[in-house]
A and B are shown apart, each in its own frame.
Chain A
Amino acid sequence: MEKESDQNFGQWARKYPELGTGPVPIEPCVSPEHFELERERIFKRVWLNVGRDEEIANPGDYYVKDMAVWGTSIIVMRGRDGKVRAFHNMCSHRGNKLAWDTKGNCRAITCKFHGWSYDTAGRLTGVPDEKNFFEFKRADHGLTPVATDVWEGFIFVHLDPNPKETLREYLGEVADQLEGYPFGQLSTRFTYLADERVNWKVLLDAQQEGYHLPVLHRRTFSKTIVSEESATNAYRSVAMRLYKYHRMLATSGVGDQASVLTPIETLSRRFGATTMAAMGGGTYTGNAKTVLTGSFDFWVIFPNFVLALMEGTYFTYNLWPQSVAHTLWEVRTYYPPAKNAGERFSQEYAKCTLRDPLLEDGGVHEKVQSMLASGARSHFTFQDEETLLRHGHHVVAEFVK
Chain B
Amino acid sequence: MSEQLLPSQFEDLEHFAAAWSLPTERARSRKRLSSPMSEIQAFYDAILPQAPVIIDYLNGFSLDEMPVRERCLFNMLLSLAEVANAVELFKEPGVIDGFDPERFTPMHE
Q: Which residues of A contact B (CB under 8 A)?
A: 189-196, 219-220, 262-265, 267-268, 271, 338-342, 344-345, 348-349, 351-353, 355-356, 358-363, 365-366
Contacts and interface: CB of A to CB of B under 8 A. Distances in A.
A359 B55 contact: no
A359 B105 contact: no
A194 B105 contact: yes
Given A192-B106, A194-B105, A360-B95, A341 B59 contact: yes
A349 B87 CA distance: 13
Given A219-B89, A359-B104, A345 B77 contact: yes
Contacts, number: 109
Contacts of B104: 192-194, 355, 358-359, 362
B78 A192 contact: no
Nearest to B51: A267
A338 B85 CA distance: 22
B98 A190 contact: no
A264 B80 contact: yes
B95 A356 contact: yes
Contacts of A356: 85, 89-90, 95, 98
Nearest to B77: A345
* Chain A interface main SS type: helix
Contacts of A220: 85, 89
A348 B22 CA distance: 13
Given A271-B55, A340-B63, A365-B99, A345 B78 contact: yes
B107 interface: yes
B32 to A, nearest CB: 9
Contacts of B103: 194-196
Contacts of B84: 262, 264-265, 349, 352-353
A219 B96 contact: yes
Given A220-B85, A362-B104, A348 B96 contact: no
Contacts of A267: 51-52, 55
A25 B97 CA distance: 28
26 contacts: A190-B106, A191-B106, A193-B107, A194-B104, A196-B103, A219-B89, A219-B96, A262-B89, A263-B88, A264-B81, A267-B55, A341-B55, A342-B58, A342-B59, A345-B78, A348-B78, A349-B84, A352-B81, A352-B82, A352-B85, A353-B84, A359-B95, A359-B99, A359-B101, A365-B99, A366-B99
Q: Identify the 8 closest CB pairs spanning chains A and B, nearest first.
A: A362-B99, A341-B58, A359-B98, A349-B81, A264-B84, A348-B81, A262-B88, A191-B107
Given A191-B106, A360-B97, A365-B99, A345 B81 contact: yes
Interface string B36-68: 000000000000100110011011010100000
Contacts of A362: 98-99, 104
Contacts of A195: 103, 105
Given A262-B84, A362-B98, A363-B97, 17 more contacts: A191-B106, A195-B105, A196-B99, A219-B89, A263-B48, A340-B63, A341-B58, A341-B61, A341-B74, A341-B77, A344-B78, A353-B85, A355-B104, A356-B95, A359-B98, A361-B99, A363-B95
Contacts of A340: 58-59, 63
A220 B90 CA distance: 9
A360 B99 CA distance: 6
A352 B52 CA distance: 19
Nearest to A223: B89
A260 B88 CA distance: 10
A302 B78 CA distance: 36
A349 B79 CA distance: 9
Contacts of A366: 99
